Structures are given as structure tokens and as C-alpha cells.
A and B are shown apart, each in its own frame.
Chain A
Amino acid sequence: MTPQTPLTQEIISAEIAQARQAYAKAVEGGEPRRDHPDRGYAPYRSSVLRHPEQPLVALDDPDAVELSGPVFGVTDVTALDADLTRQHLGEPLGERIMVTGRVLGRDGRPVRGQLVEVWQANASGRYAHQRDQHPAPLDPNFTGVGRCLTDDQGRYAFTTIKPGAYPWRNHDNAWRPAHIHFSLFGTAFAQRLVTQMYFPGDPLFDHDPIMQSVTDDAARSRLVAAYDHDLSTPEWSLGYRWDIVLSGPAATWIEEGR
């Protein structure tokens, strides 16, 4: 058996640069800008066999069920769900933070009363998940799952701790920048969004094929929260602001709530 050449960061970084250049060239050549990543993004190796090769079938049907969507209410969450630091008897380790922002539709209107779910690693970069084998300590006082409903202005807010970076097996010495996973519902199922929020200035951004799968620089920058000193609480927590805009069919723009 021939020994396998290790898949180094250098190789992945070269592929990332290549994909970025190809995208820039396509835009120069008149292709539309893309807000979302290309599903077949080879530097993220798990995408290779998990993306459709046939074009999506465009559907412009005013009767589509997907133009409505599930609703959630106060029974779907409990008051403590938005504070990830208070779900156990003790305080979790790490840097306490507040993350808040607004959820908007493409028309700029707030998405009201909808479910926002978050999940994240602990301060050491370890998920409370059985399959996470990263040899970093679990924190008995931190699970890393939160939920809330957006208010009348579309606002959400979570108190949590800053997650750590963690290694993964995409390539040799692959590390994910610190991030919080977000799951969002709009007023239409077609507005559904699952994404990740990053922290400003993380040196791992350029190395990470998941973040870089968004090849448009401006779009990618919208994944990064802003540190907001006004959101920091004296002697308690640091504040980050991150607004989220849901894409979705134009038909839902005129629909205000339900």
C-alpha cells in the first residue's frame, strides 16, 4: 500500500483561493453575486458526495405550501432557554457574553415571534455531543443549547459563554474558528435558515473551508458579529451584535406576519 499524501492546510488553502478567484472572475464576467455558498464546495470535503448535481427546479407558485410556515409560541420555549449560563447548578467556565440582534426579512421588516435556536461548543471547544471526540474538557455546567422567540421588533438575545475553536478532520491540522450555530424560521418555510455566527478578528477565518464556502467577500463578512461596547455589562459580560436577514421568495415580502 502506498502511504497517502497528507491533505495539508496548504492544499486546502490553495483550493480556497482558487474557488475565490473563480467566483470573482465569474462576477466580472456578468454572473450574479451569490449570497449563499455553492453546495459543491470541494475544499469542504464532506460536500463532495452530498450536493445535487442537477439544477434545482425553480418554482414560482403562489399556492406553494412553502410560502407559509410553522409557527412557534411561548409553550415551545421556557424563560431560561435564552440564558445558556444558567441551565445547570453552577456557572460555566469561559468568557460570559451577550449576543443580540434582529431577524429581518428581505423587505427589512422584523420577523416577529419566530423561533431562534442556537448551539455551540464550550469554552474549551468541546461539544456536549457523544460523537465529539476532541480531547478537550467537557464542562458539567454547560450544555450549549439555547432557544428564544423574536420579539415585536424581531429581536433575539442570548447570554452564553464564548465558544472555543476546535479541531476537525477535513484535513491535517484543520481548526474551526469559534462560532455559534443558529437556526431560524421566517414567516415562510422557504425562508428557513441554518447558519453560523463568527467572532470579529478570528485568525482562523482564512483557514476554514466552511466559512470560506461563502466565496463572496461582502456576504461572508455578514457572518461575523460586531463587538458592541454598549452591549457589554460592567463586571459581567461582553456584548456582540449580529443581525440576520432571511432570504426567501419575493412573494413573502408583502406578507406581514400572519
Chain B
Amino acid sequence: MTPQPTPSQTVGPFYGYALPFAGGGDIAPAGHPDAITVRGRVYDGAGDPIPDALLEFWQPAPGGSRAGAPGSLRRDPVTGAVIGRTGLDFTGFGRVATDADGHYSIRTLPPGGAPYISVCVFARGLVHHLFTRVYLPELTDPATEPLLASLPPRRRATLLAVPEGGRVHRFDIRLQGDGVEEETVFLDFG
């Protein structure tokens, strides 16, 4: 008999001292010249920012490798404190909590072999996480990329990062449409 899946439950409000770790958004090695910043805000269906969302990011290395590397939460073996990544290995994984204004930001390297960074969203009030993608416009043609091309323009736009200049991209996430702004497209991998 195939084992039956364990149901999801909300991350709740009190994960803040448990899941985020120092340097969680610094996926790119410090000072790397190719580093890009992705930043934005997470909103609810009233258009209010969500101050207690947790975002995780996963992406291939610039060379296209999807093997990842351990050490995202590298810890001091004596004290257990997070000492951060080595600054050499690209682990491909990031985790950040939104701040009081619903803001988040990550610094990473452009993914290789795929034009997007995968995002997993957790929040108080969200009983089952959501997946979406940050498509980087400089890496993709929305008219031919299969997922983007399959979506009506308004929906498609929610997956496209907006260049703000200086290697900074804006990517807002709306868990629910607020009547003005479009709800982010969320993905189901079956």
C-alpha cells in the first residue's frame, strides 16, 4: 500500500525564532559582481502587507547545476550559532521572513538553465504553503516561455520581476487579489 501523505498545517505566528537564519537571504557570495537583488512585499486580500510571511527560494547555480550544496545554515559546532554560508559554495537555497511592512529581499546570482527562481510561501493564516516563480525578464521571452505564454497578460505579469535598475528587481506577492491588484499566480506540481 502506498503511504498516505501527512497533511500540511500553518507555519503559525511563532516560527520567527526557529526558522529564519542569519544570512538567509544572502544566497550570492559576499561581494560577487554578478549578484542581483530581488525585493518586494507580500500582501493579503485587503491589500495590506503581511508582516509574518516566510519565503523560501530555490534555484539552479549560474552554471545550471541543480544539485545544490549543503551549508545554507552553516553552524558553529561549539555554540550552535549560525555562522552563515562559506561565501564560496552556492547552495541555491534562501529563506527570509517579511518585516513589519511586509518587505523581503534576497541577494542571489542569476539562475542557469532556467529563467526563474522558485519561491515557496508560508504565512500565519495560510494552512498550506504556496509555490510561485520569480521570472527574470532579462533571461526569458514571456511570449515563448511555455508557462508564461499560457497565461493571460494580467496573470502573466504577476510572475515577472520588474527591473528597478542597478541589478535590483521588484517582485511583489499577493496571496489574494484585492479588487485592484491581481492575485499572484501560484503553481501546483501535482
Contact = CB atoms under 8 A, between A and B. Distances in A.
Interface of A: 35-39, 41, 44, 46-54, 56-61, 63-81, 87, 104, 106-108, 115, 117-119, 121, 127-132, 143-145, 147, 181, 183, 189-190, 192-196, 210-211, 213-214, 216, 218-220, 222-223, 243-250, 258
Nearest to B178: A49
A88 to B, nearest CB: 11
Contacts of B50: 50
A65 B60 contact: yes
Interface string B125-166: 111111100000000000000110011000100000000000
B131 A66 contact: yes
Given A41-B127, A52-B130, A80-B80, A195 B3 contact: no
B-side binding surface: helix, strand, loop or mixed?
A: loop
A247 B5 contact: yes
A149 B129 CA distance: 22
B189 A50 contact: no
Given A76-B71, A194-B9, A195-B7, A66 B151 contact: no
Nearest to B147: A59
A78 B176 contact: no
Contact of B68 (A38, A39, A68, A194): A68
Given A76-B74, A129-B17, A36 B3 contact: no
Contact of A132 (B14, B56, B184): B14
A189 B114 CA distance: 15
A52 B150 CA distance: 19
A70 B72 contact: yes
A81 B175 contact: no
Contact of A117 (B19, B46, B67, B74): B19
B190 A249 contact: yes
B19 A119 contact: yes
A39 B126 contact: yes
Contacts of A48: 45, 125
A70 B6 contact: no
Contact of A59 (B10, B17, B189): B189
Contact of B190 (A58, A115, A144): A58
B125 A70 contact: no
B88 interface: no
Given A76-B72, A189-B58, A258-B67, A56 B128 contact: no
A50 B70 contact: no
Interface in B56-91: 56, 58-60, 66-77, 80, 91
Given A52-B183, A192-B129, A194-B11, A65 B6 contact: no
Nearest to B86: A75
Contacts of A65: 58-60, 66, 111, 114, 116, 118
